[in-house]
Amino acid sequence: MPRAESATARYGDGTCILFMVYVNEPSTTSSMPLVTLRTKCHKRHSSFYYSTLTMNQDIQKIIRNILSDIRVELSDEFDRNFERQAFFNEAWQRRSSPTRPGGDILIDKGTLRKSIGSRSTDNSITFFSTLPYASIHNDGGEIKVTAKMKRYFWHKYLEATGSFGRKKNGERRNDKRTIQLSTEAEFWKHLALMKVGKSIKIPRRRFLGASPEVEQAVKDIFEKNLAKYFEHEFKLK
């Protein structure tokens, strides 16, 4: 029966492992999987008997089919989380900053969404992101303000103030757009004035990981492929 666990790790190339699926018992030295499928295959089945070689070949084929179906199904479901603005039924916390009021979360330019990929082996699939900030959004946590971040905040502040609507005499307009930009400018100024080392809390907005919905999808695919195999090979109706 499928079982879910949680973990975050990194490959040597820096890609962030956010989700893994195994179809056998992972070794104690491997990264902890989020979902593990444990299969128990018996060589003897009531009225029939398969040789070890044939059974092993059949098992490998079943595993390949299961992993392929899981990869397609979960890739689609994880991508849809950005459309749902939620991790399945777990709604993402709304943005408290005044930037892009009412806009969608985590899909400003779609970079994070597009960064999610997957790679597979003979017995596992790994879902990952190539972006270093993917895990902090997925898991939540705190980040420390750095000098580089402060420079970026000041850049955004100047960008906002430079876009103010102006009258012919140079005075700032009070139209809706300028008022919004003024609010954004104050937000960026507040961040820019933070001291280096101060913590900023990032809320958890999961888009990859284990959940009852994921477990059910994996379980359904697992059982569907086994039923299809037995029906085809042994003409079970």
Per-residue pLDDT at 63: 87
Mean of pLDDT values over 23-30: 45
CB atoms within 10 A of CB 78: 22
| Among 120, 68, 19, residue whose Cα is nearest residue 225 | 68
The answer to whether 150 and 131 have CB atoms below 8 angstroms apart is no
| Among 140, 149, 155, 160, residue whose Cα is nearest residue 194 | 149
The answer to whether 214 and 89 have CB atoms below 8 angstroms apart is no
Mean of pLDDT values over 205-211: 91
Classified as helix, coil or strand, 157 is helix
Per-residue pLDDT at 177: 58
The answer to whether 26 and 17 have CB atoms below 8 angstroms apart is no
Quote the CA–CA distance of 47 and 7 in Å, as a whole number.
Answer: 43
pTM above 0.75, yes or no: no
pLDDT tens profile 67-104? 999 999 999 999 999 999 999 999 999 877 666 556 78
- Listed in sequence order, the residues at least 6 apart from 106 whose beta carbon sits closer than 8 Å to its beta carbon are 82, 92, 112, 113, 137, 205, 207
Per-residue pLDDT at 27: 46
Tokens of 88: 């399945």
Q: Range with the lowest mean pLDDT among 34-38, 167-171, 179-183, 205-209? A: 34-38
- Max mean pLDDT range (35-49, 68-82, 215-229): 68-82
Classified as helix, coil or strand, 142 is strand
CB atoms within 10 A of CB 114: 14
Mean of pLDDT values over 133-140: 92
